[in-house]
Structure 1
Amino acid sequence: MNYLHVHAVLQEPTQCRVGYSCRRDGLSGVIEVTWPRAASDGTLVAELVALRYLLSVAGVAGRERQGGAGLQLTVSHGAIRKLQRQSSAKQMLAHYAQFLQTRYRDAGIGVAKQPSWATEMARLEPSLILPAQPVLETLATPLGAVALTQHALERFIERGTRPGCNASQAYISLQRLAASAECREVVPVPSQQRAWEARHGQRARFLLHDSTRLCLVIGSGYQHQPTLLSCYRLDEGDRLAPVKVYRGAYAPI
């Protein structure tokens, strides 16, 4: 089991210090998070920004870690746990928590208001200054980097994995599948494209993985970033699924 505890303290209306510990007790370091103007939920956002950096960039819970299995996080705000579960009223902050809803969905999250090492934070200089902006977890695909959604990961678990697969295992499998040389872009016939647009309100691009017959649906997400919206199997019976018909309906680009 790996542990990571973060605790944010507001220094100024536009600045937070986030202390973190990778052990049961004792301060490991301090990060500063800043934003251009005063904002509500500043310490909550600062903890999310710091968590994502510490896990996905700094690798403090293991540089080889690809998911949340075997990871225990401790934060100061119960809303972070609710955001991971998509049960929070603060849905305007969901993009900050995207990494917890996807790659680290299996991580346990506890809440503690004041760690014993909080008083030590003022004595340490921050090792890094981060802007308070969401950074999304992405997959490498033939179309470039594509952001992941919890809905798409859930559909992949349902349609593209074996029974009993957890989110961490699914994330690793999806990562490999999306980057595989077997993954190629295909185009639907116009009627299928219109059906997708009518159902989801936007155009999409489709990647087909040949051996698994899984089709990844990529559209526009947060700030118009290319985003994995869903996935389907070619043999599904949904009449609106863009992968329902393959013979004559798709052509490699």
Structure 2
Amino acid sequence: MYSDVVDLIRELYNTSDLITLHEPRFYGNEKKYVNEAIESTFVSSVGLFVDKFEQDFSNYIGVEKSVACVNGTAALHMALILANVGQGDEVITQSLTFIATCNAISYQKAYPVFVDVDKDTMGMSPVALRNFLEQNAELTKDGCINKSSGRKIKAVVPMHSFGHACRIDEIASICKEWNVLLIEDAAEAIGSRYKGKALGTFGDLAAFSFNGNKIITTGGGGMVVAKDQNIAARAKYLTTTAKRPHAYEFFHDEVG
């Protein structure tokens, strides 16, 4: 089966060379801005370019605050931390996804639970999500509990596969009904919209990626966004080593 697909793709592209899923294109001011960043000496996690990128990104997708991370996986990890996902919790995600989604869940010592995708969107099926919850979960005073495992279901993480929107409004409605947080894996969805609204703005939290194979790239890089501005501020605090402002002391009051 796979060889037939490979043969078909090679026939369509009329080549036996490597066919990449995506290649970055650099034809604007990239070199100019890189040189300016180098000359500024701020080439790490802070600086004018980081601040401007966060603001421009926020304006583009229509949120108040975005927080830059080292990569998309780190953005997903931070979103899970902000959602208070912890050891022994469960996080529902989709069976068709990149390993980073599950890695981030595992970093929190939580358990990924997989539901199927819709064929026409390649994203999480709201029908599959609802069926799983109705058959396996119950709402208690402690939250949404998996009746089989006894674990708390803390969050749902759908991915907009290749930038194609899943039925995110239906998924958001189900999450609200079952009292679980919605974290959008929008790694590949920069610029994509659903019913006129930017992907990454439907959930409580969202993560974007700027890896070399994404819509736009910073070489690596990621972004986490949150509806609640207090949570967004906490994301900025944690991603900058949880350092409290001080004129000269290095004071960190939790793990960042």
- Normalised TM-score (structure 1): 0.22
Richer in helix (by share): 2
1 or 2, which has the higher strand percentage?
A: 1
